[in-house]
Chains A and B, each alone.
Chain A
Amino acid sequence: DQQVKQNSPSLSVQEGRISILNCDYTNSMFDYFLWYKKYPAEGPTFLISISSIKDKNEDGRFTVFLNKSAKHLSLHIVPSQPGDSAVYFCAASADDYKLSFGAGTTVTVRA
């Protein structure tokens, strides 16, 4: 059962514009949410996270928004840069050790 869903397999954005990635989840027990970035032939690397007690977390160009009532989170990247081209995974945790991942969104930033 897919508890974390990323319904957009791909996103293409112009350099300098905003990238918005979306993620939905079904498990009400999830209390911690993360975004990972993955380049080809490398493992996922942690990007940004948010606890369920918050609705926004910002780190430089990256902002994650959480809407618990809608079971929805999003990642905003502003401004998008060519180096942001990668696969982005949304992940969620209901405990302190196991992550449930979405299927990923491939972001392409056009020059």
Chain B
Amino acid sequence: DTGVSQDPRHKITKRGQNVTFRCDPISEHNRLYWYRQTLGQGPEFLTYFQNEAQLEKSRLLSDRFSAERPKGSFSTLEIQRTEQGDSAMYLCASSLGGQPDGYTFGSGTRLTVV
């Protein structure tokens, strides 16, 4: 297992289109997290899963955002009706249990909305 994989690495989309990102965590990790990082800022928490259950969603995650983790394996993050303000790096991380220093981040998906 080579770590957390995210696909695609880059996505350019027109405003109003829907996009979906995928995250494959480290296989034995039961927790999966999504963060968003905008230019000049640190990552901001969006949501997390323990196995297949989505346990918390940030208020940053508007109704246009939805995340799933079917069967507790990979996860998808969908953004509907994209807006220019959605342009950011979307980072996925996974961990085994709740040790904060056990997080492993993926390389991220950079979304540009034009």
Contacts and interface: CB of A to CB of B under 8 A. Distances in A.
Interface residues of B, number: 27
Contacts of B43: 44, 89, 99, 101
A96 B100 contact: yes
A106 to B, nearest CB: 10
A97 B98 contact: yes
- Could you tell me the dominant secondary structure of chain B's interface residues? mixed
Interface in A67-109: 89, 91, 93, 95-104
Given A97-B56, A102-B42, A46 B33 contact: no
Interface stretch (B12-20, B63-71, B75-83, B101-109): B101-109
B24 to A, nearest CB: 13
Contacts of B33: 97
Contacts of A21: none
B48 interface: yes
B64 to A, nearest CB: 22
A45 interface: yes
A43 B100 contact: no
B4 interface: yes
- Of B4, B55, B104, chain A has the most CB atoms within 10 Å of the CB of B104
B100 A103 contact: no
B85 interface: no
Interface of A: 4, 6, 9, 32, 34, 41-46, 49, 89, 91, 93, 95-104
Interface of B: 4, 31, 33, 35, 40-45, 48, 55-56, 91, 93, 97-108
